[in-house]
Amino acid sequence: MARLYVLLFLVQIILAVLALISCLSAEEDEIRALPRLVWVLIILFFPLIGSIAWFLAGRPAREGSPGGGWRAAGGFPEPKRSRPVAPDDDPEFLKSLDAGKSQHDRELFEKWEEDLRRREDEMRRRESGEESTS
C-alpha cells in the first residue's frame, strides 16, 4: 500500500512540474480564464487539482481544436491577432531586397563596363602610339 502512495505522490509531482512548465512557457495573451500568476499559485498550492485545472481550463487552446478561439474570461472568440512577421518570411520585404539588389547590380555592372571601355581605349591609344613611333 505504501508503494501505491509513493507512486501517486510521484505522479502528482510530475504532473505539477509539467503544468508549471506549460504555464510559464505559454504566451501571456493565450492563457485562458485567469492571469499567469494565479495559475502558478493554484498549481503550487493544489498540485493535483491545480495541474488538472490548468490542462483543462487554463492552457492555450490548440489551433485545430474545437472552440479554439473561445476564452473563458471573455466568453467570446478573440479575433486572430496579426503577429509580426520575420523579415526572411515577409515576401514584400524580400522583393524589395531583390529590387534594390538588382538596381545596385545594374549600376555596378554599368560602372564595370564603363571602366572596361576606358581601359580598352587607353590600350588602343598606347598601341597606336607605339606603332606610330616605331
* Domain range enclosing 104: 87-134
Where is the domain boundary, 11, 46, 61? 61
The pLDDT of residue 87 is 73
Same domain, 55 and 92: no
- Using one digit for the tens of pLDDT, what is the confidence trace for 34-85? 889 999 999 999 999 999 999 998 887 665 455 444 445 454 455 565 667 7
What percentage of the chain carries pLDDT values higher than 90?
40
- Report the distance separating Cα 58 and Cα 125, nearest Å: 83
Least confident of 51-55, 115-119, 127-131: 127-131
Whole-model pTM: value is: 0.46
Residue 80 lies in a domain: no
Q: Is the same domain home to 49 and 91?
A: no
Output the 3-class SS for the chain: CHHHHHHHHHHHHHHHHHHHHHHHHCCHHHCCCCCHHHHHHHHHHCHHHHHHHHHHHHCCCCCCCCCCCCCCCCCCCCCCCCCCCCHHHCHHHHHHHHHHHHHHHHHHHHHHHHHHHHHHHHHHHHHHHHHHHC
Same domain for 1 and 51, yes or no, is yes
Per-residue cell: 34 = 485567469
Rg of the chain over Cα atoms, rounded to whole angstroms, equals 34
* Structural domain contains residue 67: no
User: Is 1 a member of any domain?
Assistant: yes
Q: Are residues 54 and 11 in the same domain?
A: yes
Residues 51, 7, single domain; the answer is yes
Whether 73 is covered by a domain: the verdict is: no
Domains contained in the chain, number: 2
Asked, for residue 34, whether it belongs to a domain, the answer is yes
Q: Are 57 and 92 in the same domain?
A: no
